[in-house]
Amino acid sequence: MAYFKGFNTRAIHKKRTNVRKIAISQPIVPAVAYAFDTVEDASKTVNNELDGEYYGRYGNPTSKELENKISSLEHAEDALAVSSGMAAISISLMYFLNENDHVVVTKDIYGGTHKLLKTLASKYNIQYDYVDCANVNNIENSIKMNTRAIYIETPSNPSLKLIDIRAVAKVAKSNNLPLIVDNTFMTPYLQNPLTLGADIVVHSATKYLNGHGDVIAGVICSQEDIVKDMRKNIMGDLGQNMNAWESYLILRGIKTLGIRMEKHCDNAHKVAKFLNKHSAVKSVFYPGLPSHPQYDLAHSQMKNMGGIISFEIKGDLQSVKKMINSLKIIMISFSLGDPETLIQHPASMTHSSIPKKELSNFGLSEGLVRLSVGLEDSDDIINDLKQAFKFI
């Protein structure tokens, strides 16, 4: 789709074929298996000598359209649609890591990734160090003889700390290490890590890419040879494929991704400014506020500031819970990126696998709240927060 330059145009249209009639809405192909004219054709397909699907665990035509779409938006050679965001993360790590290997991981990280490393990685003797990757010197000092990858997310979940992707990519390349970036918060509309030097981009497509809270899915973007290897030797073998229906829903969601992200960003900026002035709020973490320590970096690598805000509430844990429980429009939920505004308490919800005594090491506190600002009228979101703060 090289002749489509604008993001929204690429998000809506697909490359034309020679077929005279094209379904405007993406067809859903739920087939498990595919028939071949000859044994030779079947053999060549399964061995990647011919393009095409052969068994649903390794992909389907609807998912392929999604992969083509995402790879175009992320400026990648290829993409892999998988069953969840955690599937995307685990496949990306498993591709580079074997027993006794080591990975450098940003310490400001999604709770699911923390739990994966704590349980499964440790079980298979994969080593890891949590590092403050905002300072590239920390990364250099953490690289060992057996280090095989660097893994970051920016902005981080939930503290909204930013990492300079260009700077980390230089360190990765000088040490011949792949850089994996979780781009879920930003989406390809707001940030393109591959163009900044990253090697792998992962998304929880459950969130903004789908945008409607009715799909669990993930996507990996990278070079064509890496994606093919992941598809055949990890995703397919572990059964982490995305099904056709969910691929269709995400394709539908992506058509409005640019428009939705603009509204998410606009609402979030207004809410962040309100929170920044409220007497019940100790601190606000949002890259769009000049008070954010990496405000300039945000503007250099991000098109806009996203729809996620984190903030610390004054008072004890009970005050925090009382405020959250008093909301009337905003919903308590583990997810983010939906049309609805969602709130959660990381220490007791998404990041509950982190022991209380270690929270500060990950930039967390019991007073921290994460807000996924939705598509409602911004005044209604702000007024709901206002009335809830009165119960503290």
Q: Alpha-carbon distance 98 to 119, whole Å?
A: 15
Between CA 321 and CA 314 the distance in angstroms is 12
Could you tell me the pTM of the whole model? 0.94
Q: What does the block give as tokens for 42?
A: 């079947």
CA neighbours closer than 13 Å in the CB half-sphere of residue 22: 9
**Contact predicate 182/110, CB 8 Å:** yes
CA 83/CA 31 separation, integer angstroms: 17
Structural domains of the chain, ranges and CATH numbers in brackets: 14-254 (3.40.640.10), 257-389 (3.90.1150.10)
Q: Which of 77, 69, 52 is nearest to 15 (CA)?
A: 69
Whether 314 contacts 363, CB under 8 Å = no
State which amino acid sits at residue 183. N
Tell me which residues are annotated as active site: 57, 110, 182, 207
pLDDT for the residue 97: 97
Position of tokens 């982490």?
240
pLDDT at 303: 98
Compute, in degrees rounded to 10, the torsion defined by CA atoms 49, 53, 58, 61.
130
Per the CB < 8 A criterion, the answer to whether 264 and 375 are in contact is yes
CA-CA distance, 285 to 287, in Å (whole number)? Answer: 7
Pairing of strands 200-204, 102-106: unpaired
Token readout for 279 is 């007497």
pLDDT of amino acid 19: 58
Residues of the chain with pLDDT under 50: 1
Cα-based distances in Å from 68 to 81, 281, 358: 10, 44, 41
Coil/strand/helix, residue 16: coil
**What distance lies between CA 17 and its chain's CA centroid?**
31
Distance of CA 310 to the CA centre of its chain: 17
Virtual CA dihedral for 364, 117, 81, 226, nearest 10 degrees?
Answer: 120
Token readout for 238 is 């572990």
In contact, 271 and 265? CB cutoff 8 Å = no
Question: What is each CA distance from 231 to 24, 187, 351, 355, in whole angstroms?
Answer: 28, 22, 30, 35
CA angle 132, 94, 88 (to 5 degrees): 80
The pLDDT value recorded for residue 173 is: 98
What is the C-alpha separation between 320 and 315, in angstroms, rounded? 7
pLDDT at position 225, please? 97
**Six-digit token string for 4:** 């489509």
